Chains A and B, each alone.
Chain A
Amino acid sequence: MSLAEFLGFAFIQKALFAGVFLALACSLLGVVLVLRRLSLIGDGLAHVAFGGLAAGLVLNVYPLYASLPIVMISSVGIWRLTERARILGDAAIGIVSSLGIASGVILVSLADGFNVDLMSYLFGNILAITGGEAASAPFIAAAVVAFMTVYQREILSVSFDEEFARASGIDHRKINRTIILLAAVVVVFAMKMAGIMLASALLILPAVTALQFALGFKATLVLAGSFGVLAVIGGVAAAFFLDLPAGATIVLANFCFFLLARIGAGLGRAKGP
């Protein structure tokens, strides 16, 4: 099959269109989350999304849209637990994510067990993304890019040294709240791409791959975005031609980039300055 034929399929076009924008949003936000030691928030919020999806299926509301407000509220809950209740970030993520899973399991049991829809969200399938979901992707990416551009100084300052940022008059609460709310939106849509089990990998892997190159902040953001986008394109193509699950293939493509970056960084260090 030729490249033109591959790109001629409407579902491939939709998957690549949505995937590129969502990967960009995930990768940029991922850099900030990794630097703030909040890497696992993607995992935690995806678990919360399971509860939201189950609620949607039980209430007969489109699952993705049902889980979006629940995940956003939960993300604020994590932030409040760390800010106000003096609970460490990883513990707060653990509390909220286990609450999400437990609520989901109870809702599923009330609805007489798992059904096919819920299972499809567990592992995701970007090739089955709907037109409406694909149309949302550029807006999500635009929101993340706009936030990262307009507040770049504030984000870098809060991530590097929150005490100094506060002494500079930066509203650290506003920055933290926006980061965590954007993470919630991105995770819900990333779930469609890679599933509940793997959504957080789309946030973490491009970021840690870019960090291997030991560059400045802007350059790291550009690299992370590039790796995330390339992994989606490569992953979708590999999934189509090799008949593999798309979400897992995208994650493995991201991992391959990470591995190559690690090897490259190791060789660079061995060679010396």
Chain B
Amino acid sequence: MSNTVIQARELGFSYNSREVLRKVGFSLERGDYLGLVGPNGSGKSTLLKIILRILAPSRGEVTLFGEPLRDFRQWARIGYLPQKTDSFNPSFPATAGEVVALGLQPSAGRRKKAVDESLALVGAGDLRDKLIGELSGGERQRVLIARALVGAPEILILDEPSSALDPEARESFFGLLRELNESRPVTIVLVTHDLGNIGRYAGKLLYLDREVLFFGSFADFCRSEAMTSLFGAASQHIICHRHGPEVEG
């Protein structure tokens, strides 16, 4: 049985006749941890939305767990954290518990227990009965991470998940992701601008700038001459040094 969980082939996407993605292709195996990086407007969020069938590509195709996207129905196997977590209506009448429960399929049993466990997992167990609008940015982010985790997904897709977290919460969050990735193992796709730190967490890297400029292991990224010419030797050294001396080329 194939271990490929996400496969994108020759993806293209245009918005108002502007080409946002061009011939994007990559594949991830079960248990991979991918850092998706690139400058602003490089198409990272668009790529995620195509994988999640929120946007339809103008060319190419995506398969999830070997199934073409148009036929895929098992959305409970995927957890998602969108990018704009601060744009919600502050007076929205939903408790943190109600928001987390949105990540469960209607057929899921023991809902209350699952919600409580997921909130506890992200250190937000005491927030269950609080209104989502009353929470601070960091607390709200933790609740939304709990919503992404509550259904015990096999793939986690996170669009800049640490933006609202303080340094301590960020470390704890990335520790949790590493544990999920190693123990279950959950496949993780993490969009970030933090190229300097991504190597500490992700084993694979996809550098996107409308097209794939690099896709491979972090160690290969550090040895890549193409990346040296893109970032400059000094920047590449800083990125790879933070990852640890064993991967420096």
Compute how far the CA of A168 lies from the CA of B150 in the bound complex, rounded to whole angstroms: 12
Interface residues of A in 23-74 (CB under 8 A from B): 31, 35, 37
| A167 CB-CB contact with B under 8 Å | yes
Contact count band on A: 20 to 34
| B80, B89, B94: the one within 8 Å of A167 (CB) | B80
| A159, A163, A216: the one within 8 Å of B95 (CB) | A216
| B75, B78, B89: the one within 8 Å of A35 (CB) | B89
Minimal Cβ-Cβ distance residue in B for A218? B98
Structural contact, A160 and B88, CB atoms closer than 8 A: yes
Give the distance to chain B from A52, nearest Cβ to Cβ, in Å: 32
- Contacts A214-B93, A216-B95, A217-B94 given; indicate if A153 touches B102 (C-beta within 8 A): yes
- Inter-chain contacts of B9 with A (CB < 8 A): none
- Inter-chain contacts of A164 with B (CB < 8 A): 80, 82, 102, 147
Minimal Cβ-Cβ distance residue in B for A213? B93
- Inter-chain contacts of A219 with B (CB < 8 A): 93
- Inter-chain contacts of A214 with B (CB < 8 A): 91, 93, 131, 134
Compute how far the CA of A168 lies from the CA of B80 in the bound complex, rounded to whole angstroms: 8
Interface residues of B in 114-170 (CB under 8 A from A): 131-132, 134, 147, 157
- Contacts A160-B92, A164-B147, A167-B52 given; indicate if A217 touches B78 (C-beta within 8 A): no
- Inter-chain contacts of A159 with B (CB < 8 A): 92
| A112 CB-CB contact with B under 8 Å | no
Structural contact, B103 and A156, CB atoms closer than 8 A: no
- Contacts A166-B53, A166-B54 given; indicate if A153 touches B82 (C-beta within 8 A): no
Binding site for B on A (CB under 8 A): 31, 35, 37, 153, 156-157, 159-161, 163-169, 210-211, 214-220
Sample of 10 A–B contacts (CB below 8 Å): A156-B94, A159-B92, A160-B99, A161-B82, A163-B49, A167-B80, A168-B75, A169-B75, A211-B93, A216-B94
